[in-house]
Amino acid sequence: MAYDAGAERERIGMAGGRLLWGADLRPFYRGIEELRTLVDGGRVLDVPCGGGIAFRGLPQEGSYRYVALDLSPVMMGRARANAARHGLRDIVFLRGDVTALPHPAGSFDLCLSYFGLHCFPDPPAALAEMARVLRPGGRLRGTSVVRGGGRRQDAIISLFRRAGPFATVGTAGELSSWLSAAGLDDVDVDRDGAVAFFSARRACGNLDGGRSQPR
């Protein structure tokens, strides 16, 4: 909740990104602004949606279908209130686990995953599941805290892992490997301090998130 309250206020989010992670979060906020045109006509999954930081980038009217999913009922409540504040009436809210998404393969054109991976115990399994629900050619965009950004940042990550909110935190290189192993291609991982900005595309071919072995 503390993260959500800070991130929602861009100036506080930017200062937090700089102080905690040594990162410039402008690409994160810019990426959210780009959603205004990116979501048009598409089916979008936002996981984990948290308090709905991405909603600020959504057009009030438009022909898109948007599913916001998170494990925490508290965050879902915040996300619903946030959607109402932004005048977004058509978001579908689902409470669930990223590693067991209730959607058939190929259900989405775009998957957003902002600052969630480092909170998951099994990020590769989460990415495989996101890849599974993307259609071939569909895109994944997101951000994650990563190790390897500096000694101070790595110490803060260790603290946050002991304190609870963080689970498995990989390096930018590991993130890149996890994305490829999930069956995604056109992988781009750009690290600034301890924050990775990533994007990838669902490879055309199998629809099981990269879990099946080639024969």
Ligand X SMILES: C[S@@+](CC[C@H](N)C(=O)[O-])C[C@H]1O[C@@H](n2cnc3c(N)ncnc32)[C@H](O)[C@@H]1O
Q: Is 48 in the site for ligand X (CB under 6 A)?
A: yes
- Residues 103-122, one symbol each (x = binds ligand X by CB under 6 A, - = not), give -----------xxx--xx--
Q: What are the start-end ranges of the E strands in 40-147?
A: 43-46, 65-70, 92-95, 108-114, 134-145
Whether the Cβ atoms of residue 146 and residue 89 lie closer than 8 Å to each other: no
98 is an interface residue for ligand X by CB under 6 A: yes
* CA–CA distances in Å: residue 214 to residues 7, 105, 206, 210, 211: 42, 18, 10, 9, 9
Task: Answer yes or no whether residue 50 interacts with ligand X by CB under 6 A.
Answer: yes
Report yes or no: 87 and 56 within 8 Å, Cβ to Cβ: no
Q: Is residue 178 within the footprint of ligand X (CB under 6 A)?
A: no
Q: Does 13 bind ligand X (CB under 6 A)?
A: no
Q: Which is nearer to ligand X, 167 or 206 (CB)?
A: 167
**156 counts as binding ligand X under rule CB under 6 A:** no
| HSE-up of residue 134 (Cα within 13 Å, Cβ side) | 31
Question: What is the closest distance, in whole angstroms, from the C-beta atom of residue 158 to ligand X in the complex?
Answer: 17
Asked if 170 interacts with ligand X (CB under 6 A), we say no
Contact between 71 and ligand X (CB under 6 A)?
Answer: yes
- Cβ atoms < 10 Å from Cβ of 100: 8
Stretch that binds ligand X, among 3-11, 12-20, 183-191, 207-215 (CB under 6 A): 3-11
